[in-house]
């Protein structure tokens, strides 16, 4: 049966013991972008207390610039300006990569910001919002075309790799990989026993896909972050291309983003989600990842039940 990466979070833990939902094909994912290193270590221990032999994936935050040190969410008003300083971001030098007129996508591309000015002396960025809303703490900022100039691993990534080594983590998710050199940098610090999963979520990763596939056994297509880098309208074509290329190199492919997005708020999925999942699994992927559905959604157990039913139905199909 296909692997299912189950992202842990308040929703899943609040639903009772993991023993009640565990299946042989589950991999329990911890999103390293959320929480302190000490808190993530406590989560690993909590999973192990319930499921001593569970496979755990630790997903590195990578060089995605996120808001930090915000006492409260930033309130947005359309066409109003606001400032962010370097100490309010996970990468204090972010301002050096921006110029007036740049477009910044925030909060999983649901918010669009325009860079009005950059104060190079103080490291302060002036933004103008194109919509009303808010930006909470730990939300990502994305600017197309600047990832090449960012370091691959931030300080927190290095700390989490050391945690993965001493905790015996099964999988390490490498975020925002651009080329094989990025993978080699992570390999030089990770224990040889850890399986590296190179996430394909940048245009650079697609451009350098062949060398990435030669460097790792596992990849994960993150359709959310990839859509921010290449455009959402290109995702169907890119998904097909990446999967076919991985098959050519005999590599295992995980796929993530919004498989059961409707079930974050509702007890049943949309028909379109089930059809998409069916067609995607039929493409020969190794597994799928649930994110918000199990970490913060209202119906984590129902999501996993639905996945199980769909996979069982596919396994039982016969040609007629």
Domains in the chain with CATH codes: 3-63+151-315 (3.20.20.60), 65-149 (2.40.33.10)
In Å, the largest CA–CA distance within the chain is 71
Q: What's the CA angle centered on 106, arms 33 and 203, to 5 degrees?
A: 80
pLDDT single digits (tens) 280-314: 999 999 999 999 999 999 999 999 999 999 998 88
How many Å apart are CA 293 and CA 300, to the nearest integer? 6
Q: How far apart are CA 116 and CA 129, in angstroms?
A: 10
Q: What span, in angstroms and rounded, lies between the C-alpha atoms of 159 and 282?
A: 38
Token output for 309: 């039913």
CA distances from 267 to 29, 261, 298 (A): 22, 11, 8
pTM of this prediction?
0.87
With tokens 């069916």, the residue in question is 278
Contact 297, 263 (CB under 8 A): yes
How many angstroms separate the CA atoms of 242 and 1, rounded? 22
Q: Rounded to the nearest 5°, which phi and psi values hold at 268?
A: -130, 150
pLDDT tens, position by position, 22-32: 999 999 999 99
Averaged pLDDT for residues 265-291: 93
Q: What is the pLDDT of residues 197-246, one digit of tens each?
A: 999 999 999 999 999 999 999 999 999 889 888 888 999 999 999 999 99
Instruction: Read off the pLDDT of each residue in 54-74 and give the average, rounded to a whole number.
Output: 92
Q: Which residues does residue 117 pair with via DSSP β-bridges, in sequence order?
A: 126
Task: Read off the DSSP letter of residue 86.
Answer: G
Give me the chain's average pLDDT, please: 92
The number of beta carbons lying within 10 Å of the beta carbon of residue 189 is 14
Distance CA 244, CA 252 (A): 11
pLDDT at 318: 56
**What radius of gyration, in Å, describes the C-alpha atoms of the chain?**
20
Asked if residues 221 and 173 have their Cβ atoms less than 8 Å apart, the reply is: no
138 confidence band (pLDDT: 50, 70, 90): confident
59: three-class secondary structure by DSSP = strand
Q: How far apart are CA 162 and CA 165, in angstroms?
A: 5
- What distance lies between CA 80 and its chain's CA centroid? 30
Contact 215, 186 (CB under 8 A): no
318, HSE (Cβ side, Cα atoms, 13 Å): 1
Runs of H (alpha helix) within the chain: 10-14, 37-50, 155-167, 180-187, 203-207, 209-215, 223-230, 235-248, 271-281, 292-295, 300-315
Range in 70-79, 139-148, 162-171, 240-249 with the lowest mean pLDDT: 139-148
Let me know if 250 is exposed, middle or buried by CB neighbors in 10 A (0-12, 13-18, 19+): exposed
Per cent of the chain over pLDDT 70 is: 99
């Amino acid at each position: 049966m296909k692997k299912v990466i189950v992202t842990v979070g308040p929703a899943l833990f609040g639903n009772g013991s993991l023993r009640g939902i565990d299946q042989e094909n589950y991999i329990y994912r911890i999103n390293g972008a959320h929480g302190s290193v000490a808190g993530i270590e406590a989560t690993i221990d909590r999973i192990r207390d319930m499921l001593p032999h569970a496979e755990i994936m630790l997903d590195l935050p990578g060089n995605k610039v996120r808001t930090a040190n915000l006492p409260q969410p930033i309130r947005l008003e359309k066409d109003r300006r606001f400032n962010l300083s370097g100490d309010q971001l996970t990468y204090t030098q972010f301002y050096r990569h921006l110029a007036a007129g740049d477009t910044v996508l925030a909060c999983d591309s649901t918010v669009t910001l325009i860079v009005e000015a950059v104060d190079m002396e103080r490291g302060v960025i002036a933004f103008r919002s194109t919509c009303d809303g808010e930006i909470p703490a730990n939300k990502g900022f994305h600017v197309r075309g600047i990832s090449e100039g960012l370091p691959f691993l931030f300080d927190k990534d290095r700390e989490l790799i050391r945690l993965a080594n001493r905790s015996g983590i099964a999988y390490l998710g490498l975020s925002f990989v651009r080329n094989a050199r990025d993978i080699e940098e992570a390999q030089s610090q990770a224990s040889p026993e850890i399986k590296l999963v190179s996430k394909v979520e940048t245009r650079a990763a697609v451009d350098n896909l062949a060398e990435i596939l030669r460097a790792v056994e596992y990849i994960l297509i993150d359709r959310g972050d990839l859509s921010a880098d290449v455009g959402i309208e290109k995702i169907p074509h890119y998904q097909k291309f990446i999967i076919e290329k991985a098959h050519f190199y005999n590599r295992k492919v995980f796929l993530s983003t919004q498989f059961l997005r409707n079930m974050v708020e509702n007890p049943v999925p949309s028909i379109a989600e089930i059809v998409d999942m069916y067609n995607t699994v039929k493409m020969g992927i190794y597994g799928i990842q649930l994110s918000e559905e199990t970490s913060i959604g209202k119906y984590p157990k129902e999501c996993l039940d639905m996945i199980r039913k769909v996979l069982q139905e596919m396994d039982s199909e016969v040609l007629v």
